[in-house]
């Protein structure tokens, strides 16, 4: 097929699969909230946080408890969940502290154990049935997009996701705090020599990363539903995202998340048999051709 033929087919594709494409973008943005924290934490601390998926799931459950269980407002649920995520990050920092000198293997193992514990705790409190948070009332309607109706809530998720990406990018690339962070990724000893408390920078990034994951769990709950197993699923997808995009790169996490979102959604709509393989196939190809990821630098 020539490029011209692809070009001619595109408008048709867009019409026919607009919903899939939009769904893919919404999923992609959810993955981004997971992946960006995972990626930053790894870049800064060399720790692969395998409990990240569990925090995503628990964040969703906490908000579910506040909104559905206690009947509080959506915003209150979101705030409590994000606060919970940040506290979880600080706790994680404390838990990792005694074995920081032991190398990434033991630290990854510790987070794996935490993932086991957290996801089982979740089933103790919230059972194994599907739980869902209804979307906020003012978003419970459809909006016309290119002649088709689409849930306003999912559009909002996309918007929030993009806004988040821009904010995180600007903070890391353009602010003093970000400069310290980037320097610490490059050379930890040098930054400590400048009199900056690297430990505190790490804690801040951990808290930010896990708060974002928790945030993702809340805004994802109306779309994905919460149940045991979702944690491992989003974790694996987020890992693929950062491997494709490049560990430690924010634009990489964004592009990777969008690609994986589309493979998951549009890919499944177009070629249902191939899509699941495309997911891992993409990762394998990227690792074979460009092991540092599309935006990675090593």
- Site residue total, another protein (CB under 8 A): 38
By CB under 8 A, name the one of 9, 14, 104, 145 that touches another protein.
Answer: 104
CB 228 within 8 A of CB 128: yes
**Residue 69: CB minimum distance to another protein, A:** 21
Which residues sit opposite 143 in a β-bridge? 150
CB 261 within 8 A of CB 28: yes
Closest CA to 152 of 71, 270, 160, 11: 160
Cβ distance to another protein smaller for residue 8 or 284? 284
Measured in residues, the chain has a length of 298
Cβ distance to another protein smaller for residue 108 or 152? 108
- The three-state (H, E, C) secondary structure of 156-211, written as one string: HHHHHHHHHHHHHHHHHHHCHHHHHHHHHHHCHHHHHHCCCCHHHHHHHHHHHHHH
Cβ distance to another protein smaller for residue 158 or 240? 240
Binding of another protein by 102 (CB under 8 A): yes
Largest CA distance in the chain: 60
Query: How far is the C-alpha of 3 from the C-alpha of 118, rounded, in Å?
Result: 49
Binding of another protein by 172 (CB under 8 A): no
By CB under 8 A, name the one of 9, 10, 121, 145 that touches another protein.
Answer: 121
What 3-state class would DSSP assign to 226? strand
Binding of another protein by 27 (CB under 8 A): no
By CB under 8 A, name the one of 105, 137, 146, 189 that touches another protein.
Answer: 105
> Within a 13 Å sphere around the CA of 144, how many CA atoms are in the beta-carbon half?
2
Residues 245-284 that bind another protein (CB under 8 A): 247, 273, 276-277, 280-281, 283-284
Binding of another protein by 99 (CB under 8 A): yes
Binding of another protein by 240 (CB under 8 A): yes
**Residue 81: CB minimum distance to another protein, A:** 22
CB 229 within 8 A of CB 170: no
Binding of another protein by 94 (CB under 8 A): no
Cβ distance to another protein smaller for residue 78 or 243? 243
Cβ distance to another protein smaller for residue 113 or 134? 113
Cβ distance to another protein smaller for residue 133 or 283? 283
Query: How far is the C-alpha of 51 from the C-alpha of 188, rounded, in Å?
Result: 24
Closest CA to 64 of 283, 297, 279, 227: 227
Cβ distance to another protein smaller for residue 22 or 234? 234
The label of the residue with tokens 């996801």 reads 119
By CB under 8 A, name the one of 25, 35, 63, 110 that touches another protein.
Answer: 110
Cβ distance to another protein smaller for residue 105 or 146? 105
Distance of CA 142 to the CA centre of its chain: 25
**Residue 293: CB minimum distance to another protein, A:** 9
Tokens standing for residue 129: 């049935």
The binding site for another protein (CB under 8 A) comprises 42, 48, 98-99, 102, 104-106, 108-110, 112-117, 119-121, 123-124, 232, 236, 239-240, 243, 247, 273, 276-277, 280-281, 283-284, 287-288, 291
């Amino acid at each position: 097929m020539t490029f011209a033929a692809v070009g001619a087919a595109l408008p048709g594709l867009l019409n026919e699969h607009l919903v899939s494409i939009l769904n893919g973008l919404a999923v992609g943005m959810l993955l981004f909230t997971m992946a960006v924290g995972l990626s930053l934490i790894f870049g800064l601390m060399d720790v692969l946080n395998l409990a990240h998926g569990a925090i995503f799931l628990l964040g969703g459950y906490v908000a579910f408890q506040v909104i559905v269980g206690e009947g509080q407002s959506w915003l209150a649920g979101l705030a409590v969940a994000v606060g919970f995520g940040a506290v979880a990050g600080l706790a994680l920092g404390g838990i990792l502290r005694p074995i920081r000198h032991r190398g990434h293997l033991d630290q990854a193992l510790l987070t794996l154990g935490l993932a086991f514990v957290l996801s089982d705790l979740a089933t103790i409190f919230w059972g194994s049935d599907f739980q869902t948070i209804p979307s906020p009332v003012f978003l419970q309607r459809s909006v016309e997009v290119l002649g088709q109706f689409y849930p306003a809530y999912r559009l909002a998720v996309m918007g929030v996701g993009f806004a988040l990406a821009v904010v995180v990018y600007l903070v890391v690339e353009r602010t003093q705090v970000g400069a310290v962070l980037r320097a610490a990724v490059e050379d930890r000893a040098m930054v400590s020599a400048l009199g900056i408390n690297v430990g505190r920078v790490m804690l801040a990034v951990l808290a930010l990363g896990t708060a974002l994951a928790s945030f993702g769990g809340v805004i994802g709950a109306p779309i994905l539903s919460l149940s045991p197993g979702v944690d491992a699923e989003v974790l694996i997808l987020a890992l693929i995202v950062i491997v494709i995009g490049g560990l430690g790169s924010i634009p990489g996490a964004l592009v990777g998340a969008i690609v994986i979102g589309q493979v998951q959604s549009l890919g499944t709509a177009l070629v249902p048999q191939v899509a699941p393989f495309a997911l891992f196939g993409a990762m394998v190809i990227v690792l074979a051709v460009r092991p540092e990821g599309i935006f990675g630098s090593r």
